[in-house]
Amino acid sequence: MTTNAPPAPAAYPPNLQAPGTDTGPWEPLLDAAKLPPGSMRRITRGELDVLLAHTPAGVVAVADRCPHMSAPLSIGSLDGCVVACPLHEGRFDLCTGDTVRMPTTGGLDADGAYHPTWSPAGREPKVDPPGLKAEARRLTRVGRLRYFPVRIAGGTIEVQLPRTPTGG
Ligand code: FES
């Protein structure tokens, strides 16, 4: 059975709301009909790339930058609530803000704990080669997703964007 009911915004952990969004302007970003369940879209406003995703929990909006090395999540894949990054295969739960799988490069998680370079199941962990690149990978921290508040108004997805330093 199909329904024409508009999507609802998803709840998200309040401590993960993007800084500056609580007083920022509401921006109409997309006709809700253009974001069917299971889909993602990148919408750009100025220097800000926003990822809109229609998850089973509702519509979420986060920066379209992987919390690892800023790759565009919008060209990854969405499976339920989990978005897979196209660059190092990190997986992030858009409904909870949790990291589901660390990037294949390893590195630090949001709490600062180290994770080794990924290896296939049953194999010894790969040893990082020496050098600055490996050191950079080891010290790269996977941050936390940051959410923009979402509302659906008159069939349009509106997102509260961070207020700019100039007050816009
Ligand atoms: S940039 Fe996304 S997992 Fe590395």
What is the Cα 14 distance to its own chain's centre? Answer: 15
Give dist(CA 80, CA 78) in Å, integer: 6
CA 1 to centroid of ligand 1, rounded, Å: 37
What is the Cα 149 distance to its own chain's centre? Answer: 13
Three-state DSSP class for residue 66: coil
Question: What is the sign of the dihedral through the CA atoms of 132, 134, 137 and 139?
Answer: negative
**How high is the pLDDT of residue 122?**
82
Give per-residue pLDDT as tens, 11-48. 999 999 999 999 999 999 999 999 999 999 999 999 99
Q: Of the given ranges (54-68, 94-108, 109-123), which has the lowest mean pLDDT?
A: 109-123
Q: Is 82 in the pocket of ligand 1 (CB under 6 A)?
A: no
Q: Which residues contact 141 (CB under 8 A, 6 or more apart)?
A: 107, 108, 109, 110, 112
DSSP summary character for residue 110: T
pTM of the shown model: 0.91
Give dist(CA 116, CA 90) in Å, integer: 13
Name the residue at shortest CA distance from atom 1 of ligand 1.
69
CA 153 to centroid of ligand 1, rounded, Å: 33
